Amino acid sequence: MKEQYLIDLDLRRVPSLSPDVVIIGSGIAAISAALVAAEDASVLVVTKSELKESNTYYAQGGVAVSLDPADNPEGHLQDTLVAGAGLCDEKAVRKLVTEGPARVKELIAWGTPFDRENGEIAFTLEGGHSHHRVMHAEGDATGRAIEVSLLQKVRGHPNVSFLENHFAVDLLHKDGVCYGVIALDVKSGKFIKIEAKATVLATGGLGQIYRETTNPEVATGDGMAIAFRAGAVLEDMEFVQFHPTTLYLAGAKRELITEAVRGEGAHLVNAKGERFMVGRHERAELAPRDIVARAIHKEMAATGATNVFLDMRHLDPALVRGRFPNLVQMLARYRLDPTKDRIPVRPACHYMMGGVKSDLEANTAVQRLLAAGEVASVGVHGANRLASNSLLDGLVYGHEAGAQALRLAAGSQPTFPEKRVRPVLPRDDLPLDVADVRNSLRSLVSRSAGLVRDGETMTSALQMLDFWQRYVYAEEFTSVAGLELQNMLACAQLILRSALKREESRGAHCRSDFPATDDAKWRTHSFIRREEFE
């Protein structure tokens, strides 16, 4: 398989670094990996923005873990398997729920300020859970509290250094082996070569390929795209989770409204004030996310509305303000008071269940390349992620990636055998409006690969994306916006190809032309790799 790169670069003419381990990303999985690998190896953390800018930082609801004495890992495992709609890897889930408590106890020891009631850790209930097992911090700012705690722990570590504002353009790869990464200094526009004994991908998700998403601007699928170009296997890319409740106001950002709001008793109602989840699922508003999101979609279609409402007005105002201070503050910017006003909401892209296929030790199909967190697919989430399992996934498998990187770091330093890397296609001087293509891409993906899909629409969209690729890939970018666009295009194609292949409805993947779940044929993972298209 011929090596694939986006740039034409003479590696002899760029500065180079040689840490034992290079970690791409700065969220919960990345920093967890760094802390473990740094026990006896030099670690370089590379992130395209500031260290804190990650999906982790914006996570609200909490981290699901069976630390309540009345709870147990087996119950957590069963809830995760049910939500995953038949596609979870039970071994991966068991590792998650059994090792998770130890990882969360480390966070507590490092000073993460989880909320307490009467001196004990407070647990709340979220969709799909049979027990109150979701820990939260600072009310509804759990991700921020964890990220701050992790960064305080890793900053100043003698074996860890950081490259902020450096964009990972491509992995250094040859014959199925990863040697490190080529990064672009966002501020100077200069490239740097980073060779390492182990490379950890922890770049997060791809929500920005959708027009409406809860993800931050940095979530453009970079890790999945660069791994795909390097020859890694991508798994279950059709399973994109839509969070049921994001703020829907004209001109406003699609702000996430945590599921914990419904866990504390908020209702979903239509314009007439009628609860529509009662009778549709035994857990009503606390059904798994795919069920709630599609119920909202169906309610909107039936009434011609652009949104439904989250109603908290029957809850104790002191509870609302004390438990959800950030939500109250955010809504106040739009002159909404959740104790008095219904909140207009609708689903938006939230999380990728699939990603770079990895095993229980974070290994991928590319030697010396590890993956953890949302960028990876270890089999924990199946076809539909259980609420608040994502932070635990980052903790457990980030820790595992760090341990595996540490083992690789004990060996010799491999040297990349090439002096130059070359682009995918010959370059042309194209007058390309990157912002326009990006906006068009996001609209196309939202229409074709959203909550409800069909073969005809996806086929048409994929043909359009394949056509765009001919000239987008023929442009050599030295800007983050241009490089992100190429990665977003690659991820959009991967989602649509995978979704077209799966001719059934399961979990977050719903097809109007194949509405039934077909266990006999499709209770299996989907895989996609670059060599299939060469």
Cα–Cα distance measured from residue 25 to residue 55, given in angstroms and rounded to the nearest whole number = 10
Residue 289 annotated among the catalytic residues of the structure: yes
Burial of residue 101 (number of CB atoms within 10 Å: 0-12, 13-18, 19+): middle
Contact 393, 297 (CB under 8 A): no
Token look-up 């699901």 returns: 64
Among 243, 242, 256, 300, which residue's Cα sits nearest to residue 276?
300
Pair type for strands 116-117 and 63-64: unpaired
CA quadruple 204, 210, 212, 216: dihedral sign: positive
Strand residue runs (E) in 38-128: 43-46, 63-64, 116-117, 120-121, 123-124
Cα separation, 66 vs 518, whole angstroms:
32
DSSP 116-180: EETTEE-EE--TT-SS--EE-BTTT-HHHHHHHHHHHHHTT-TTEEEE-SEEEEEEEEETTEEEE
Q: How far apart are CA 289 and CA 507, in angstroms?
A: 9
- Give the residues across from 193 on adjacent strands: 16, 182
Helix (H, G, I), strand (E, B) or coil at 347: strand
State the alpha helices, DSSP H only, in 366-433. 390-409
Cα atoms found within 13 Å of the Cα of residue 349, Cβ hemisphere only? 26
Give the integer Cα–Cα distance in Å for 203 and 30: 8
CB proximity list for 214: less than 8 A, separation 6 or greater: 58, 207, 243, 246, 254, 255, 256, 348, 349, 350
SS (H, E, C) 434-475: HHHHHHHHHHHHHHHCCCCECHHHHHHHHHHHHHHHHHHCCC
Q: Are 268 and 281 in contact (CB under 8 A)?
A: no
Q: Is 430 exposed, middle or buried (0-12, 13-18, 19+ CB in 10 A)?
A: exposed
Annotated catalytic residue, options 94, 229, 289, 530:
289
Kindly report the backbone phi and psi dihedral angles of residue 275, in degrees, each rounded to the nearest multiple of 5, phi listed first.
Answer: -70, 125
- Annotated catalytic residues are 289
